[in-house]
Structure 1
Amino acid sequence: MSLQTLSEWLRCPNCFLPLSPAEPLTLRCGAGHSFDVNKRGYVSLAGGSRRLIGDSVAMVDARALFLETGWYEPLRSRLAERVAAENPSRVMDIGCGTGYYLQGVFALCPDARALGIDLSPVAVGRTVSGRDNIDGLVADVWSPLPVRDGSADVLLNVFAPRNPSEFHRVLREDGLLVVVVPHASHLQELRASGLALDVPANKVEHLSEALSPAFELETRDELSSSLRLNPAQVSALIGMGPSAHHTDFDALTVHLSGVQTVTASFELLGYRRITI
């Protein structure tokens, strides 16, 4: 990351003019609005009006602990293959988490640059740490993104919120939006025990309707496997996602003993940007 590469993605959240480097560790627009860049290599342009809370340190730690076991590697590999087929130069990951899926993309697209976006400063810090080809942005996906028009060839959205109009704006013409959502059977054993949140019925159909007419569903892949998890891995799996906000982890230990069989099932969706 450099101030120059970071600024090339961004526009001012106040007036929407392009941001440019202004030393030291400052980005500034032509109207004089300025923003400090974190020494860890990212900038926060989230504002504070919505009072949303990003993933905590504990949630990001849990995600890193679980993902390093390799249970979601088949999903990462399939996603990376889908992205690599586009031969992208610039990839944007909205809801980047620890950067796990971007790492898979770079294995096949080593010359690409990426912008990792998340509401959690902890997550963005993990994504950019030690990586010169990833710029970092803390931002609220529900608000107008402080990102320039048409700045990405591919946009990733893995288990994260979506803003169709803004996704359409920041993708180039005919760009690809790759979305991963849980299948109805995902974590069904944990949901049956009250340890994970329900997955809404007909999720893909509702998603495609929400993205229309800005995007057209082009590819749809389902990936499913049975995981044999020890109690620590089950706890990390619950703790890394939205169920963490609704789980009593002291009570959780009562439910966990021995090896648990857990279904991991995903829908990997490719949406093509349509000119509207």
Structure 2
Amino acid sequence: MSADLSRLAAWLRCPVCEADLEPVDRLTLGCANGHRHDVNKRGYVALLGGGTKHLGDTTEMLDARDLVLEGGAYSPIADAVAASAVGSRVLDAGAGTGHYLRAALSSLPQALGLAMDLSAQAVARAVRSSDRVDGLVADTWRPLPVRSDSADTVLDVFAPRNLPEFHRVLRPGGTLVVVVPRTEHLGSLRATGSMLDIPSDKADDVIATAEPLYALLAREPVAYDLALTPSLREALAGMGPSARHAATAAVIPSEVDATRVSVDVLHFTRR
């Protein structure tokens, strides 16, 4: 029964009965009601319950995301996320490869992180990328197999939002950081038909929906021009949900050599 398995279990509750999970042998977590859940030898656990109708990111999408994020194209966004994170326990919901979670942990030297994503491949990459990150494969749209009041900060960066569940897993006064794109985000790429459109009031909708559960502390715009190489153009189109749509088959003209990155970083506190 490893210390790492105990650390992972400290985040989690059973997806069947909601009792706390604990290590029961080297690669198994269990609850007091007898439910057992296998831990992958790479150090993460899948707690999907009865499955899900949603799809996780593919290998190709994750490779594209790595090219964009590890190459620094979104570093100002990562810096803003890191500056908003607080406390000793950070949950990243829709963590992908763990890039933003690692950025947050870099600003919190004593903190631990939980990378939660629907894609087992993404979670495996996130866990492998830092010895301070534990991994959970789960569906954000369902009740989260995460203990109540277990996180000081929840990150949600370009990801689905389950605001009531985020509220439950946050400690009183905890921080929620949400990043949403603005209408003009990657506009030169969207104009080619290679990416999905963005609603004009996305941040306003998030703020209004969150209001019963959270108080908005700050709305920080992050915007800058980004020079594009051919590989970066293709990766930006291929890293997100647009990659699942036929429109991405469109060829992005080579004259599209720059684009505008434009997002809102929303910083809430739990009521």
The TM-score normalised by the length of structure 2 is 0.95
Q: For the Cα contact (< 8 Å) 2:43–2:127, is it kept in 1?
A: yes
Q: For the Cα contact (< 8 Å) 1:11–1:147, is it kept in 2?
A: yes
What is the 5 A alignment of 1:232-247?
232-247=231-246
Q: 2:80 aligns with which of 78, 81, 98?
A: 78
* Aligned-residue RMSD, C-alpha: 1.4
How far, CA to CA, are the matches of 1:18 and 1:266 in structure 2? Answer: 37
Aligned structure 1 segments of 4 or more residues deviating by more than 6 angstroms: none
The TM-score normalised by the length of structure 1 is 0.94
Residue 231 of structure 1 corresponds to which residue in structure 2?
Answer: 230
1:250 Cα deviation after fit:
5.2
Give the 3-state SS of the residue equivalent to 2:63 in structure 1: helix
Q: For the Cα contact (< 8 Å) 2:193–2:250, is it kept in 1?
A: no
Residue 52 of structure 2 corresponds to which residue in structure 1?
Answer: 50
How far, CA to CA, are the matches of 2:180 and 2:106 in structure 1? Answer: 23
Residue 273 of structure 1 corresponds to which residue in structure 2?
Answer: 270
Change (3 A) 1:159 1:173: same
Report Cα offsets for 1:132-186 as digits up to 9, x if no partner.
2111000001100000000000100000001111011000001010000001110
Where does structure 1 lack aligned partners over 5 or more consecutive residues? Answer: none
1:258 Cα deviation after fit:
5.0
AA in 2 matched with 1:193:
T
Residue 67 of structure 2 corresponds to which residue in structure 1?
Answer: 65
Change (3 A) 1:25 1:49: closer
Change (3 A) 1:34 1:236: same
- The alignment status of 1:4 with 2:35, answered yes or no, reads no
Residue 174 of structure 2 corresponds to which residue in structure 1?
Answer: 175
Report Cα offsets for 1:111-133 as digits up to 9, x if no partner.
10111100010110110005221
Q: For the Cα contact (< 8 Å) 1:45–1:137, is it kept in 2?
A: yes
Residue 128 of structure 1 corresponds to which residue in structure 2?
Answer: 127
Change (3 A) 1:51 1:19: same
AA in 1 matched with 2:108:
C
AA in 2 matched with 1:16:
E
Where does structure 2 lack aligned partners over 5 or more consecutive residues? Answer: none
Give the 3-state SS of the residue equivalent to 1:32 in structure 2: coil
Change (3 A) 1:190 1:130: closer
Residue 195 of structure 1 corresponds to which residue in structure 2?
Answer: 194
1:232 Cα deviation after fit:
1.1
Instruction: Give the fraction of aligned pairs with identical amino acids, expressed as a percent.
Output: 48
Q: For the Cα contact (< 8 Å) 1:230–1:258, is it kept in 2?
A: no
